[in-house]
A and B are shown apart, each in its own frame.
Chain A
Amino acid sequence: MTTTTYEPVIGLEVHAQLLTESKIFCGCSTRFGDEPNHNTCPVCMGFPGVLPVLNKKVVEFAIRVGLATHCEIARYSRWARKNYFYPDLPKGYQISQYELPLCEKGFLEIDSGGGKKKIRLTRIHMEEDAGKNIHDIRGDYSLVDLNRTGVPLLEIVSEPDLASAEEAAAYLKILRAILQYLEVCDGNMEEGSFRCDANVSVRPAGARELGTKVEIKNMNSFKAVEKAITSEIARQIETLSEGGKLVQETRLWDAEREETRSMRSKESAHDYRYFPDPDLLPLAVDGKWIAEIQASLPELPQARVERFVAAYGLPRYDAEILTGRRDVADYFETAVKIHPNAKAISNWVMGDLFRVIKDRKLDDALRIAEWPIPAAHLAAMVKMIDEGKISGKIAKTLFTEMLETGELPETIVKEKGLEQVSDAGSIESAVDQVIAAHANVVSDYRSGNEKVFGFLVGQVMKATQGKASPQIVNETLRRKLASA
């Protein structure tokens, strides 16, 4: 019996909440975390007689994203109603775009280790978010909060160009970075401002026809997306290999059991009855407006990688990681402007700082203000190392102190007496003591065993509590050992 090899085919649908002050069709605040139904009005609550009026900023943000992802911007687009019943959808329809979306036919470039790959974008359209249903576990009722109803969303739909969970994750990361660079979305997956559904199918390797498509929902972190897709691909291959059949359906990712499970869908056959929304005028975007937005676009992640390599001489690897988030890249550049040792700063950011961010779970938020060490402090610390004021070893201790206290490195160094000892006199006396205390080792060295030199250096450093300048210790030690 021959075994068929399968290849996955994945397309992603991202919903990104836009960082506008007010909702898409009314003047309510988009603020997150308020009392239930606090940010509502007759319009977003779908009262009788209300009408929507489009927030211009939403269109501007959508065009920004469209341009940054190489889309064609439609000069004429329109609003449609998507009709379905749900308690979090107060009008019984969602205002969205259907046949004539604002942006179409774009692409993104990803690199998940196998070189650059173009992922095509089918479309980007604007729509309103729904509210939130809270299901009481004990009670026989649910609660509805409409604060989120009407928060502007972009729906960004990719072609099924992704071939693995890793590619999907790479795509999401670059897409999120772009949205953050454009300052249109904070990209917070846990709070739901950046949400992703995946369409996954598998087909015999090399086949042209697509397999049965399954939609996966409820993935609220990058890790969840990767795991869910991996698990779903495995499930599909297993089913097919055992001669089973797949059904086109929506499955939910269960993060605890780490598997997707079928939704017992009440309305299996959706019929959304889209039609043009008569309450909203068609949207006409002229070349002048597009040009203005184009001119205002910030430097995007891929351009920034190139610049980091060229201007700071960073390895591409460093440049790609640093530019993965706009706030990280900004942080890095702020530090480098203060103290131009790009590689050293890069090492600190990518090493120690990232570890802290990860430990403190600041990973998903664009909240540089909450970072424990400001860029200026990090720059000052690296500068102190470079100037020989502290040793690299002490710097690790200092970093932890800065993290705890938020103080300037100079202040901590002074308070804790962490300055590097560079004066020859005190190092010489420490060296003398070490030589006197380790006569055996010293004679070993003198008889040609170079290896023990490191041990002696260590002893001197220990005697100076790590504060001695390693360079001076080396010199002094060699001279003394050679001279007797």
Chain B
Amino acid sequence: MSLHTLTIHELGAKLKTREVSSVELTEAVFARISATEERLHSYITLCRESALGEAKRADERLKARGDNSPLLGIPIALKDIFLTRGTLTTCASKILGNFVPPYDGTAVKKLKERGAVIVGKTNMDEFAMGSSTENSAMAVTRNPWNLDRVPGGSSGGSAAAVAADQSIAALGTDTGGSIRQPAACCGIVGLKPTYGRVSRFGVIAFASSLDQVGPMTKDVKDCALMLEAIAGHDPADSTSVPAPAPAYASFLDGNAKGLRLGLPKEYFIPGMQPEVEAAVRQAVRALEKNGVEVVEVSLPHTEYAVAVYYIIATAEASSNLARYDGMKYGYRAQGKDLAETYFKTRQEGFGPEVKRRIMLGTYALSAGYYDAYYLKAQKVRALIKRDFDEAFRKCDVIVTPTAPTTAFKIGEKTDDPLQMYLSDIFTISVNLAGLPGLSLPCGFDGDGMPIGLQIIGKHFDEATILRVAHAYEQATEWHKRKPKL
């Protein structure tokens, strides 16, 4: 049997009974990577040696028994935005091309403590800015379902790796859809938890008020297990919420009966790929059969979300990325003096999309424009959040498509940044409102590309999202399909 194709919970059983070892499993995953990576380019850095060491230690813990971590011995990939002590962390940028962190981020630390085996660091859009992973300074990652298509982004490498069984699961980050959209593009499950649910410490910041860490997995149960491992308060992150994280997997009983499901009319727009709309409506009917009640809700400020997002996210990013100046770490260009060193380092170190966003964000904060752009965006952000508060009075979860289309072709949108930004239209509002949102496969289009269903929950109510997602997954077979590579 091909071990690499299994899920965390399937492998957990085999590892505990010692039917397979973590070393065997890890070898299998690396064998799969060897066979496919040349075509996919999911990874920036592979950690074969350290992974085998970790697998060996996991096997010892498994031998000793008494260890209940569901992640013990499981190979997991990390988006290259997570700081890993002693392992190159580039954020897919030339400016951090040689950066080896002196510390592990909180989520990484938690995974390591729970015995996960770190396979490697996955490709992404530079500084998580993008929706296709084409903005990586390292490589272009390809969609396992069709090598001419993008895997989505910015966590495209993590999505491709999980979809192609190059890892059992992965971590991504989501600022405006960067977990959910690639999950949809690659036909896997991706969850962006509530803002504050998972620590951001040790995650390279893009937009601090929107960034959130989350799991990317082969099915909903794995997603719950991963979330359980990484969620919870972290004293090192002031914005992490001091609330206990429940045992998410225990909510998954295949039943969503009695829950109210909201369908926002603003999310079914002209210009949307008809197969996407059809698949989502089909999924809603399937859930109805399971006993959920469907209600129409309204999120009237949806059309402003992209504008709000690209002001707030870029403004925060322009400040967050100021530290990449060639003084303390990372790339330094040779300049004749300090000023020239700054200018050349940043000019040469950042790619075009990152520069575009730094420019936009700097402009939005600059004297004379702050009120018109940044402050205005924060006010509309309040209205968008209010929309959700209203809608959630009528329903327990909101269901929408994850993206208006399936994965597009490589190079198709690179010339028109605004068109690229608009592909985030269904995921962005969730970040602005700080809500949890999950994407899971709900069908395929005529070209055989996966379609994603987005389920949005109330603040800190990941449990209900997972319950609905699981109920849907139990009733369908989409998650069992694998790309032919």
Contact = CB atoms under 8 A, between A and B. Distances in A.
Nearest to B200: A51
B338 A51 contact: no
A278 B209 contact: yes
B233 to A, nearest CB: 12
Contacts of B319: 81, 83, 92-93, 273, 275
30 contacts: A45-B328, A46-B323, A47-B83, A48-B99, A48-B205, A48-B323, A49-B101, A49-B200, A51-B236, A52-B238, A54-B238, A83-B365, A85-B322, A87-B325, A91-B323, A92-B323, A93-B319, A266-B339, A271-B367, A273-B319, A273-B365, A273-B370, A275-B315, A275-B365, A278-B209, A278-B239, A278-B316, A279-B208, A281-B238, A281-B239
B362 A273 contact: yes
Nearest to A144: B327
A46 B99 CA distance: 14
Interface in B298-340: 315-316, 318-319, 321-323, 325, 327-329, 338-339
Nearest to A88: B327
Nearest to A277: B208
A280 B236 CA distance: 11
A51 B325 CA distance: 18
Interface in B445-475: none
Contacts of B253: none
A192 interface: no
A246 to B, nearest CB: 23
Nearest to A54: B238
Q: Interface size for chain B: under 10, 10 to 19, 20 to 34, or 35 or more residues?
A: 35 or more
A275 B374 contact: yes
Interface string B331-355: 0000000110010000000000000
A85 B238 contact: no
A50 interface: yes
Interface in A41-76: 42, 45-54
A50 B201 contact: yes
Given A48-B89, A51-B238, A144-B327, 12 more contacts: A42-B103, A48-B204, A49-B82, A49-B202, A50-B201, A53-B238, A92-B319, A92-B322, A271-B366, A273-B319, A273-B367, A274-B365
Interface string B406-426: 000000000000000000000
A372 interface: no
Interface of B: 82-83, 89, 91, 96, 99, 101-103, 105, 200-205, 207-209, 235-239, 315-316, 318-319, 321-323, 325, 327-329, 338-339, 342, 362, 365-367, 370, 374
Q: Interface size for chain A: under 10, 10 to 19, 20 to 34, or 35 or more residues?
A: 20 to 34
Contacts of B96: 48
B342 to A, nearest CB: 6
A90 interface: yes
B102 A42 contact: yes
Q: Which 4 A-B pairs have the closest CB atoms?
A: A92-B322, A278-B209, A273-B365, A278-B208
B236 to A, nearest CB: 6
Contact of B329 (A47, A91, A266): A47
Q: Is the interface of A mostly helix, strand, loop or mixed?
A: loop
A232 B275 CA distance: 75
Contacts of B82: 49
B338 A87 contact: yes
Nearest to B362: A273
Contacts of B208: 278-279
A51 B199 CA distance: 10
Interface string A85-104: 10100111100000000000
B327 A47 contact: no
Contact of A90 (B209, B328, B338, B342): B328
Interface string A330-353: 000000000000000000000000
A273 B99 CA distance: 28
A90 B326 CA distance: 10
B189 to A, nearest CB: 25
A46 B328 contact: yes
A140 to B, nearest CB: 9
Contacts of A278: 207-209, 239, 316
